[in-house]
């Protein structure tokens, strides 16, 4: 049964990344989980237990996507994107910095998925009325979504997966990832600006005059601000982020119903429900892999790294988890490595370096994170030519310095 579990789990992870027949990855994640149970590779109680362990993550995803859609429905992101284009004052390089900075704020407070599904389309829409090549700015949205994922625990669902049930307080978080996050953000942007230096050298010219984008209504801004403060306070106190985030998302939707029922319905429809199904399926798949002996991989990696002197140990762990994330996606890798860390209690610096690899490492390829998988669909629908090979070439130029710098500064 161990061989069957490994084969089925590996096939499921591959299908999620490759998306045969262009089916949503959630179909393959759910199908793989069902097949593992149906073939007896994993018992029903074990599968249910695996899914139950992810409840906090599901609630977080639902709540954060609802908040992101609330911001979209109230025109916050189109207004921010239009303001960035105007503030660029004819400079493509300044616009790249403004888009990247907006991505930092969005990722920090609304998660990297919000940067992809809400900010990226708004940026591309604003750019459509200029002569700028949209590729550098679209790439900036994709890269900052992962590079800024260490700013706060709520910045990436992989943080909740990694620290499932043992999320550190905000003070502890900053002590472990504060400087690492700064390094990841600054070094990613520096390399990005260097790669696209020719594309952003020319002046930015508007193709036509456009009516000013109306400012978002105060109710939407105040509601979102209160929700974000509540999330930061919850995180600082080590509270249940999933439950609180979901409650805030529901509250924001209910507030919208009182103003515009159509917008409230758009919020509910805008939530990527298949992502929740996919995440539940991954919990089952990873559990099957662990029972089949897959837990030996992180154990051997940490055992090897613990015998290396600083900084080789931290760099080695970050590189290993980054490599694994690009092979199998960072959510299952973060889940598997996090389970090992919770049980084995390796040195804190190695623990933190592992999360650096899980969060920053996915910028090497399109398949590295859920955020980049969502991103490629958005840019294709916008008519932007982007292939996995082109993204990987950019990732190979931009990511190594950020990964190395963040791994060395993780504590």
Q: What is the pLDDT of residues 116-129, one digit of tens each?
A: 989 999 999 999 88
pLDDT in tens, 270-313: 888 988 998 899 889 888 887 877 666 777 777 787 777 778 88
pLDDT of residue 19: 78
pLDDT at 1 over 60: no
Q: List all residues 6 or more positions away from 267 whose beta carbon is below 8 Å from its beta carbon.
A: 66, 69, 70, 73, 252, 253, 256
pLDDT of residue 210: 62
Nearest-angstrom CA–CA distance, 410 and 314: 8
Nearest-angstrom CA–CA distance, 51 and 284: 6
Nearest CA-CA partner of 320 in 288, 350, 277: 350
Answer yes or no: pTM beyond 0.75.
yes
Distances (CA, A) of 40 to 5, 28, 45: 9, 18, 12
With bands split at pLDDT 50, 70 and 90, how would you rate the model's confidence at 409?
A: very high
pLDDT in tens, 19-40: 788 788 889 989 999 999 999 9
Nearest-angstrom CA–CA distance, 188 and 157: 20
Nearest CA-CA partner of 395 in 115, 110, 120, 191: 191
Joined tokens for residue 21: 């027949």
């Amino acid at each position: 049964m161990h061989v069957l579990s490994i084969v089925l789990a590996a096939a499921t992870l591959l299908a999620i990344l490759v998306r045969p027949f262009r089916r949503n990855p959630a179909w393959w994640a759910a199908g793989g989980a069902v097949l593992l149970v149906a073939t007896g590779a994993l018992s029903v109680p074990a599968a249910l237990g695996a899914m139950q362990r992810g409840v906090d993550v599901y609630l977080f995803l639902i709540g954060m996507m609802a908040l992101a859609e609330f911001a979209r429905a109230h025109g916050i992101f189109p207004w921010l994107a239009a303001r960035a284009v105007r503030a660029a004052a004819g400079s493509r390089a300044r616009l790249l910095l403004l888009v990247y900075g907006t991505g930092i704020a969005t990722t920090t407070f609304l998660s990297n998925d919000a940067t992809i599904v809400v900010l990226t389309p708004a940026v591309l829409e604003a750019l459509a009325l200029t002569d700028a090549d949209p590729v550098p700015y679209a790439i900036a949205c994709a890269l900052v979504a992962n590079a800024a994922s260490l700013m706060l625990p709520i910045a990436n669902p992989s943080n909740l997966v990694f620290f499932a049930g043992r999320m550190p307080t905000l003070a502890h978080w900053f002590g472990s990832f504060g400087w690492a996050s700064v390094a990841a953000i600054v070094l990613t942007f520096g390399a990005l600006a260097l790669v696209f230096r020719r594309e952003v050298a020319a002046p930015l010219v508007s193709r036509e005059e456009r009516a000013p984008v109306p400012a978002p209504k105060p109710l939407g801004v105040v509601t979102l601000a209160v929700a974000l403060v509540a999330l930061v306070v919850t995180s600082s106190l080590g509270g249940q982020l999933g439950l609180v985030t979901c409650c805030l998302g529901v509250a924001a939707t209910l507030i919208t119903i009182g103003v515009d029922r159509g917008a409230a319905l758009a919020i509910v429809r805008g939530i990527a429900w298949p992502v929740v199904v996919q995440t539940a399926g991954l919990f089952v798949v990873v559990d099957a892999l662990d029972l089949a002996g897959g837990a030996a991989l992180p154990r051997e990696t940490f055992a090897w790294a613990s015998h290396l002197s600083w900084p080789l140990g931290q760099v080695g762990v970050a590189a290993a988890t980054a490599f694994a994330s690009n092979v199998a996606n960072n959510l299952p890798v973060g889940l598997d490595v996090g389970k090992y860390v919770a049980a084995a209690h390796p040195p804190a610096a190695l623990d933190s370096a592992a999360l650096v690899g899980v969060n920053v490492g996915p910028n090497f390829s399109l398949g590295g994170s859920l955020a980049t998988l969502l991103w490629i669909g958005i840019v294709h629908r916008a008519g932007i030519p982007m292939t996995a090979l082109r993204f990987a070439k950019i990732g190979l130029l931009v990511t190594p310095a950020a990964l190395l710098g963040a791994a060395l500064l993780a504590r």
